[in-house]
Structure 1
């Protein structure tokens, strides 16, 4: 065993406090503060029906969003697709995207971002009020 190395950490869902937002909640399953991660930020995202994570980008991070359950209107730049369980989208660094729950029940997603950026391991630039993003929905 290497002394001082980050060997990992178990993250138990019931023991991970959610971050409640107006549109849903986030559970940080991997991030520098939670696990000491350097390269992966992993977030379980729950979006309530009719709500969404509006248009934004991560300038220095790539992202994969994987749909666990529900029905999601997923935007990748100006392209829109309806995703369901088992579907995913890869989002390049600095690409604007958004996720909206268009189903009748909560949508559960797994967001995986890398590399970690900043103390939280996550960077976000909100562009929802800017053109053309404010006129797409």
Structure 2
């Protein structure tokens, strides 16, 4: 089902780490190849350490800054920066700054009922102690 997805039609869900607007997912567009989300992380919030066992991911920072963890490595990302994350690799996005961070997230292939499956590992070691 090809279709236009207008900004006002993007359904936004609120999580403990921020918000995600589903722009492309099986339930939105019928596409099973990928999922596209608009994510906002408020200052001081994060999408803590997790992994997607069956999906690759690309995160593009559109505005603001984040500290992006990829395994045990980290890097500060700003507007226009991105990270590719292979399936089953632990990662986390942390907004340690004073302004909201806006990310465009693509996961492929679509998986699970909502299009993506995330496994929280933030309470497991070494992830629980990594940010000290």
TM-score above 0.5: yes
Number of corresponding residues: 131
The match for 1:125 among 114, 119, 123 is 119
The structure number with the bigger radius of gyration is 1
Which residue does 1:70 correspond to in 2?
Answer: 64
Structure 2: gaps of 5 or more residues: none
1:43 match: secondary structure: strand
Structure 1: gaps of 5 or more residues: 1-5
Q: Distance in 2 between matches of 1:110 and 1:52?
A: 15
Which residue does 1:3 correspond to in 2?
Answer: none
RMSD: 0.9
- Extract structure 1 runs of 4+ deviating beyond 2 A: none
The match for 1:112 among 106, 119, 129 is 106
The match for 1:40 among 34, 45, 61 is 34
